[in-house]
Amino acid sequence: GTIIHTVNGGENWNLQTSGTTQDLQDVAFVDANTGWAVGSKGTILHTADGGDHWIVQESATEKDLLGVSFIDASTGWIVGEKGIVLKYSTLNAVENHNSSLLPGNCLLYSSYPNPFPGRRIGYTKTTILYYLPAPSRVLLRVYDTLGRAVRTLADEQQPAGLHSIQWDGKDKNGVSVPSGIYFLRMDARNNAKSIKIVVL
């Protein structure tokens, strides 16, 4: 249940109290104060003060939740194991396996684990979740902080729905990348989204 917060681009991190002992997999904020975190055994946490306090909320599921994305402070979607999709509205999460509840645009969720150890013992891969509203050609590429392409994870036509892909922390030549900050960019349906991945 560890949550750490930075206000200076990752130079320093402060530990926050999450109120849960469950593993947390993803976090999303719609502004500086309002955010959610999700994790194992249906865990959903909500904060309204930038993470100083987190409140455990009912999810109506015991399945592991892996990704969260919000379009505003009252409407969002959570995805998890075995294809579970939760639509979250006005602070109430309702389980629904019908992917038609998802929005009509592409979604890219934070990777998990993130940060991940890369070359170190433990998690040697990070998993990226994303959603396509319709069959699309998808380009998933990892970049370093200088904007140089490090690795192409996918460049192909894919069906609609929820997808996952893994990155093992290696570049296009199969060499482990140095510790640092990287960006995963997804291009699909004339839309580009990106997330930050930290390799320890």
Query: What pLDDT does 94 receive?
Result: 46
CA-closest candidate to residue 40, choices 56, 64, 75:
64
| The CATH number, out of the four listed (1.10.510.10, 3.40.50.1100, 2.40.10.500, 3.10.180.10), of the domain defined by the range 3-98 | 2.40.10.500
Q: Is the pLDDT of residue 3 over 90?
A: no
Q: Are 5 and 14 in contact (CB under 8 A)?
A: yes
For the segment 153-172, the average pLDDT, to the nearest whole number, is 90
The residues pairing with 65 across neighbouring beta strands, listed in sequence order, are: 80
For the segment 176-196, the average pLDDT, to the nearest whole number, is 91
* Region for residue 175 given its phi and psi (left: phi exceeds 0; alpha: psi -120 to 50; beta: otherwise): beta
Q: Are 34 and 45 in contact (CB under 8 A)?
A: no
For the segment 11-23, the average pLDDT, to the nearest whole number, is 81
Query: What pLDDT does 150 receive?
Result: 96
User: What are 54-86's pLDDT values in tens digits?
Assistant: 988 877 788 888 888 877 777 778 888 777 777
CATH number, domain 107-199? 2.60.40.4070
User: What are 29-48's pLDDT values in tens digits?
Assistant: 888 888 889 989 989 898 88
For residues 97 and 113, which has the higher predicted lDDT (pLDDT)? Answer: 113
The residues pairing with 168 across neighbouring beta strands, listed in sequence order, are: none
Residues contacting residue 73 through CB under 8 Å, at least 6 positions apart: 30, 31, 34
Instruction: Report how far residue 65's alpha carbon sits from residue 59's, in angstroms, rounded to the nearest whole number.
Output: 10
Domain ranges of the chain: 3-98, 107-199
